[in-house]
């Protein structure tokens, strides 16, 4: 609590204690009249209604055949026709594959590494170094993918980019590799650039969790002769297990998202034909097919498919966590 808060609280306690009893000097409130509280809340609720709930009619669009001129949500009903077309479309299957692969890779690599980084940060002894490294580590999180993509293009550039220079100096390759022009490299690049951008930020919650671990446990472990590695595994990581599980549930629930911004920027808004087959994900597909090709119902079906699967995954992960007796979301 801030010092400010503490001062206000002690003042408040005094005022409350001094309040005259019996003969109330404060205006009588009818038991449930809280028009002022409701008024504070209602404008925001209306906003949520308009911008979050109204678009939900889009769900109806997935089961209809939208024609130009139709009022959205009032087109002819065609049942599961759109979904049938979706699964028969080879483009969509490629897109689905890309989305799942990229997300799984990110989960495999970019989920554990922030935990490792947090543990390492915790092992640093000087406080200034700790703070400095932390501050630097989340610098890339605050820039947009527009900027990040440009930086990464330069970093991996075949024309004097740092990565190629280092690889050549180490003798691992003979001539520069044009990383961003090879489709097969895209998945690795997507994971790597995402790691570069979000490692520091994602480690914050773990660092904060670790900071709240009771020091006495480490001291007790010392007495029992534990090595540093053992302390890390049995105390540090074990203590932040609830946090890890919670975040894992969230990650699984976002599996089909795979970062629209990143995909658009790393491919020059899908301009790079060599990458398209590997970089197209569900969200970019919906954007291209829905907005640019104006196949609204079709794209709406893809979007709904994604939302439903994500939600099912979230519930599934949560159920599994509960089953394994871990702390869960719901």
Partner 1 sequence: MRRKKTVGDIILDIMVLLTMLLVLIATLYPFLNSLALSFNNADDTTRGGITIWPRIFTTRNYELIFANSKIYKAYSITVLRTLIGTVVGLLFTATLAFGLSRRNLRGRKFYTYFCLIPMYFSGGLIPTYFLIRSLNLLNNFWVYILPNLVNLWNMLLMRAYFKSVPDALEESARIDGANYFTIFYRIILPVSMPIVATICLYIGVFHWNSWFDAAMFISSQQLKPMQTVLISIISEAKFAEQIASAAAGASVDVGSIGRGKVVNVRSITMATMIVTIIPIVIVYPFLQRYFIKGIMIGSIKG
Site for partner 1 in 91-130 (CB under 8 A): 116-117, 120, 123-124, 129
293 lies in the site for partner 1, by CB under 8 A: no
2 lies in the site for partner 1, by CB under 8 A: yes
273 lies in the site for partner 1, by CB under 8 A: no
Please pick, from the candidates 92, 179, 278, 296, the single residue that binds partner 1 as defined by CB under 8 A.
296
Span near partner 1 by CB under 8 A; candidates 2-10, 77-85, 89-97, 100-108: 2-10
Check: CB of residue 317 under 8 Å from CB of residue 253: yes
* Burial (Cβ within 10 Å: 0-12, 13-18, ≥19) of residue 62: buried
Span near partner 1 by CB under 8 A; candidates 80-88, 89-97, 146-154, 273-281: 146-154
Smallest distance, partner 1 to C-beta of residue 140, A: 6
319 lies in the site for partner 1, by CB under 8 A: no
What secondary structure does DSSP assign to 272-299, as a single string? -HHHHHHH--HHHHHIIIIIIS--HHHH
Contacts of 243 (CB under 8 A, 6+ apart): 205, 206, 209
Coil, strand or helix at 28: coil
Please pick, from the candidates 9, 93, 238, 273, the single residue that binds partner 1 as defined by CB under 8 A.
9
Structure tokens at 192: 């790597």
Q: What is the DSSP letter of 76?
A: E
Between residue 228 and residue 267, which ones bind partner 1 under the rule CB under 8 A? 228-229, 243, 246-247, 253, 260-261, 264
Please tell me the count of residues contacting partner 1 according to CB under 8 A. Answer: 106
Residue for token pair 């440009």: 150
Residue for token pair 């920027």: 265
12 lies in the site for partner 1, by CB under 8 A: yes
Element (H, E) at 7: helix 3-18
Between residue 168 and residue 227, which ones bind partner 1 under the rule CB under 8 A? 196, 199-200, 204-205, 207-209, 219, 222-223, 225, 227
Which x/- pattern, by CB under 8 A, does the window 57-96 give for partner 1? Answer: xxx-x----------xx-----------------------
Task: CB nearer to partner 1: give 94 or 134.
Answer: 134
Smallest distance, partner 1 to C-beta of residue 108, A: 19
Smallest distance, partner 1 to C-beta of residue 101, A: 22
Check: CB of residue 201 under 8 Å from CB of residue 195: no
Task: CB nearer to partner 1: give 71 or 171.
Answer: 71
Which x/- pattern, by CB under 8 A, does the window 37-56 give for partner 1? Answer: xxxxx-xxx-xx-xxxxxxx
Instruction: Name the nearest CA neighbour of 328 among 171, 320, 71, 50.
Output: 320
Helices (H), 111-180: 112-123, 127-137, 145-155, 162-169
Smallest distance, partner 1 to C-beta of residue 265, A: 8
Smallest distance, partner 1 to C-beta of residue 237, A: 14
Element (H, E) at 329: none
Q: For residue 121, is it left (φ>0), alpha (ψ between -120 and 50) or beta?
A: alpha
């Amino acid at each position: 609590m801030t010092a400010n808060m503490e001062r206000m609280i002690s003042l408040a306690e005094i005022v409350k204690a001094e309040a005259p009893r019996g003969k109330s000097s404060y205006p009588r409130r009818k038991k449930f009249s809280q028009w002022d509280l409701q008024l504070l809340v209602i404008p925001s609720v209306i906003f949520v209604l308009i911008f979050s709930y109204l678009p939900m009619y889009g769900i109806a669009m997935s089961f209809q055949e939208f024609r130009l001129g139709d009022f959205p949500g009032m087109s002819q009903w065609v049942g599961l026709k759109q979904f049938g077309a979706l699964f028969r479309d080879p483009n969509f299957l490629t897109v689905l594959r890309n989305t799942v692969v990229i997300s799984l890779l990110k989960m495999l690599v970019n989920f554990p590494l922030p935990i490792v980084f947090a543990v390492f940060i915790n092992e640093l002894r000087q406080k200034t170094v700790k703070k400095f490294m932390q501050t630097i580590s989340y610098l890339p999180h605050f820039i947009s993918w527009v900027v990040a993509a440009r930086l990464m293009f330069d970093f991996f550039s075949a024309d004097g980019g740092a990565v190629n220079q280092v690889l050549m100096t180490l003798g691992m390759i003979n001539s520069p590799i044009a990383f961003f022009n090879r489709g097969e490299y895209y998945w690795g690049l997507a994971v790597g650039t995402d790691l570069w951008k979000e490692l520091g930020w994602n480690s914050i919650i773990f660092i904060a969790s670790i900071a709240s671990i009771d020091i006495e446990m480490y001291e007790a472990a010392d007495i029992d002769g534990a090595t540093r590695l053992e302390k890390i595994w049995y105390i540090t990581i074990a203590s932040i297990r609830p946090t890890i599980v919670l975040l894992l549930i969230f990650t699984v629930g976002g599996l089909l998202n795979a970062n629209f911004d990143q995909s658009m920027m790393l491919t020059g808004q899908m301009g790079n034909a060599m990458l398209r087959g590997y970089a197209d994900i569900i969200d970019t597909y919906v954007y291209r097919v829905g907005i640019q090709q104006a196949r609204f119902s079709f794209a709406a079906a893809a979007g709904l498919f994604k939302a439903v699967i994500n939600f099912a995954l979230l519930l599934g992960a949560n159920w599994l966590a509960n089953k394994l007796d871990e702390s869960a979301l719901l």
